[in-house]
Copies of this chain bind each other. A is one copy, B any other.
Amino acid sequence: MSKPVDSAVSTVRAYIQDHREAFLDDLAAWLRIPSVSAQPDHAPDVRRSADWLAGQLARTGFPTTEVWETAGAPAVFAEWPSGDPQAPTILVYGHHDVQPAAREDGWDTEPFEPVVIGNRLHARGAADDKGQVFFHTLGLRAHLHATGRTAPAVNLKLLIEGEEESGSPHFRALVEAQRERLAADAVIVSDTGMWSEDTPTVCTGMRGLADCEIELYGPDQDIHSGSFGGAVPNPAAAAARLVAALHDEDARVAVPGFYDGIVELTDRERELFAELPFDEERWLRTAKSRATHGEAGHTTLERIWARPTAEVNGIGGGYQGPGGKTIVPASAMLKLSFRLVAGQDPDLVEKAVAAWVAEQVPAGIRHEITFGAATRPCLTPLDHPALQSVVRAMGQAFEQKIRFTREGGSGPAADLQDVLDAPVLFLGISVPSDGWHAPNEKVELDLLMKGVETTAYLWGDLAENWADAS
């Protein structure tokens, strides 16, 4: 904290300080637009949010800003070439739509009336994701100011979608349609978080996702359990046995081939995970659960970040109403999802699951299995030069050692990785207490400004240290 800062840092900090108030006013104006993509009556607000952002990006200096239509809500694209033919091309991803919010859900203030209380800005979208998109604007201005450039040191592109909170239903189609204009050497996703305010971190990967629904059919209709039970196979029992067989005694997924090809954690990565100040009791409270349970030989962080899983998301069959009903049910269904890690191919996983299910289902039970759209895992190697740049830029802003996390979840970032064939990096400055999707969402102003500062350093570092990107 007391180490001397160089002149570039002091220039950046002074610039940010000078523009902080206007920056926060602008962000507040955006947060006032209730761009709730899941609620059809807010569709005009989502469009207004896109238009507002496109205007703001133009005011920031982007020579190209466009609102891109999709079959759903519009996305915003902006582009600012570096002018340097050697410069790498970076695509920043975020979203301008927000989760639903209403005062009566438990908000202490109006969710779409931003208000600063102490050192926090409260509003729906403050952290997820408008605040994180927005720090790129002032950060870019500070970068230009501190370097004296008239264009960014990298070819900068922004793609800010409008349907992330609705599951990004048209995102992949958009990326595929705009593949050439979105082409980049790396993607920077600003829609994640850090470990905590005291422990700044960079996320290095997200898990992939495959999911399926399995229908199991027994008798042609519910039949009397007194007349027939105990003498014919029961599809609800068959569904249950499938689930029970899904994991072995070590809580490893028992589907043959499931682990084929996975990139195992290195000792160094396990050490880095173990260095994080993880409090399992506290984590359990966040998980609203009473015990940990998972693959033998792995810590909780390894289980949620770096190990593939099989989870029962839903199971149903037979009588669900009050009291009892003495039947052998006609059918049962299972909804399973599989989190995937680097090295796993969703297609192969789906084939392995389908073959395993077919083998497990007993005689007399017919089954159908349907897979949803899969998401690939993404993982940035720790020694990737772009990741090193992000770590250095963050370190300079936070004046702290930057540690590494991963995301257990899966997201549209993987679509960018797949379609654009570019590595995905994560630059998120939110913390778990920010209340994503919850009442009283907020962003810590100090962290928000650290986000601004990080991006002020990032483009120069990338241009300097990743010359061979293209």
Contact = CB atoms under 8 A, between A and B. Distances in A.
A122 interface: no
Q: What are the nearest 7 A-B pairs in CB distance?
A: A291-B364, A226-B409, A230-B309, A244-B244, A240-B243, A314-B318, A220-B288
Contact of A289 (B209, B228, B244, B307): B228
B288 A339 contact: no
Interface string A206-238: 010101010000111101111111111110110
* Number of chain copies forming the complex: 2
Contact of A234 (B209, B224, B311): B311
Interface in A155-191: none
Given A229-B311, A240-B244, 20 more contacts: A209-B326, A218-B290, A223-B287, A225-B313, A226-B408, A227-B287, A228-B287, A228-B304, A230-B294, A231-B287, A231-B293, A231-B294, A240-B315, A291-B362, A291-B364, A312-B318, A313-B329, A314-B320, A314-B329, A316-B317
Given A207-B226, A315-B239, A335 B339 contact: no
A289 B225 contact: no
Nearest to A336: B324
A244 B362 CA distance: 13
Given A224-B409, A228-B304, A311-B225, A233 B291 contact: yes
28 contacts: A207-B226, A209-B326, A213-B324, A219-B288, A225-B313, A226-B407, A227-B408, A230-B295, A230-B303, A230-B310, A230-B408, A231-B303, A232-B289, A232-B294, A236-B313, A236-B314, A237-B312, A239-B240, A239-B315, A240-B241, A240-B244, A243-B244, A290-B364, A313-B318, A313-B324, A314-B317, A316-B320, A318-B335
A239 to B, nearest CB: 7
A205 to B, nearest CB: 12
Contacts of A237: 243-244, 246-247, 311-312
Nearest to A301: B231
B309 A327 contact: no
A224 to B, nearest CB: 7
A324 to B, nearest CB: 4
B319 A318 contact: no
A211 B201 CA distance: 53
A318 to B, nearest CB: 4
A226 B232 CA distance: 38
